[in-house]
């Protein structure tokens, strides 16, 4: 995007998307805690579990990064094209959201997740479909980002690896606030107590890790491709 008008419009869209994402997260959180409280459930555990979903964490990251990117482009036009940190942060947010959309719509749509309440329909669609699609479109046709080195993919996959370790370590230490089972996992495919056991979990983790690397590589490739297609002037 070249003109200042286009930059302003896209920056405003980023800020609006950030607001919508946060509204969706807060709406779902309030609904979950309210239903838990009404049922005399463990509100503290449900709160901690809520922020243990990769979907929630990736959306919060995306909202923060979009807000920063949108504000930066409005206040300091051209900064995004020269900022390595901002481009890398956008690459992380984009990868996480694209994977969130793929995994949910391919594996989890229609499955009741163990969060103690039904998802709010509009919020669910924003978090799993609308926001991931926006981040993908932002990568492909939004404000051009600084070209990234391939090694940035290592930074991109660091957070998912940490989340996986956290999930598998925490799972057997938490009592399910809904069923009373002596374990809690945010998604069926990371629960070794399901049919298939650890073999199933390891298989899914490897498959999704490969997907993170693939999408991360694609994201970096797009930044390099777009920068090469329309060389940017050196930053002062």
Q: What is the pLDDT of residues 205-222, one digit of tens each?
A: 999 999 999 999 999 999
* 235 in any annotated domain: no
Structure tokens at 194: 């399901």
Residue-averaged pLDDT of the chain: 89
On whether the CB atoms of residues 95 and 216 are closer than 8 A, the answer is yes
Q: What does the pLDDT read at residue 116? A: 43
Q: If pLDDT is split at 50, 70 and 90, which confidence band does 3 have?
A: low
* 172 in any annotated domain: yes
pLDDT in tens, 134-178: 999 999 999 888 999 999 999 999 999 999 999 999 999 999 988
Q: At CA 122, angle to CA 117 and CA 123, rounded to 5?
A: 60
pLDDT in tens, 28-65: 999 999 988 988 889 999 999 999 999 999 999 999 99
* 86 in any annotated domain: yes
On whether the CB atoms of residues 139 and 219 are closer than 8 A, the answer is yes
Distance CA 185, CA 208 (A): 16
How many domains does the chain fold into? 1
The mean pLDDT of 64-93, rounded to a whole number, is 87
Q: What does the pLDDT read at residue 168? A: 96
From residue 102, how far is each of 99, 164, 228 by CA, in Å?
Answer: 5, 17, 28
* 122 in any annotated domain: yes
Give the residue ranges of DSSP H helices in 152-233. Answer: 152-170, 197-229
* 174 in any annotated domain: yes
* 236 in any annotated domain: no
* 18 in any annotated domain: yes
* 42 in any annotated domain: yes
| pTM higher than the cut 0.85 | yes
Give the residue ranges of DSSP H helices in the chain. Answer: 4-38, 43-50, 54-75, 79-82, 84-103, 121-125, 131-141, 152-170, 197-229
Q: What does the pLDDT read at residue 106? A: 83
Count, residues in the chain: 236
Domain that holds residue 138: 4-229
The mean pLDDT of 63-92, rounded to a whole number, is 88
Residues whose CB falls within 8 Å of the CB of residue 19, separated by 6 or more in sequence, listed in order: 63
């Amino acid at each position: 995007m070249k003109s200042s008008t286009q930059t302003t419009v896209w920056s405003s869209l980023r800020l609006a998307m950030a607001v919508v994402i946060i509204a969706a997260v807060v709406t779902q959180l309030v609904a979950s805690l309210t239903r838990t409280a009404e049922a005399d459930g463990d509100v503290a555990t449900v709160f901690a579990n809520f922020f243990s979903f990769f979907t929630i964490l990736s959306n919060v990251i995306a909202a923060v990064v979009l807000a920063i990117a949108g504000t930066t482009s409005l206040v300091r036009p051209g900064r995004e094209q020269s900022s390595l940190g901002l481009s890398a942060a956008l690459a992380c947010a984009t990868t996480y959201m694209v994977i969130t959309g793929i995994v949910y719509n391919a594996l989890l749509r229609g499955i009741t997740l163990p969060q103690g309440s039904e998802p709010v329909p509009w919020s669910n669609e924003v978090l799993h479909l609308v926001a991931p699609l926006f981040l993908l479109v932002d990568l492909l046709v939004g404000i051009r980002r600084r070209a990234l080195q391939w090694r940035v993919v290592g930074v991109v996959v660091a957070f998912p690896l940490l989340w996986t370790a956290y999930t598998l370590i925490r799972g057997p230490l938490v009592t399910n606030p809904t069923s009373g089972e002596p374990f809690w996992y945010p998604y069926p495919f990371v629960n070794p107590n399901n049919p298939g056991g650890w073999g199933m979990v390891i298989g899914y983790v490897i498959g999704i890790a490969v997907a993170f690397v693939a999408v991360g590589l694609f994201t970096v490739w797009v930044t390099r491709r777009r920068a090469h297609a329309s060389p940017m002037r050196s930053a002062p």
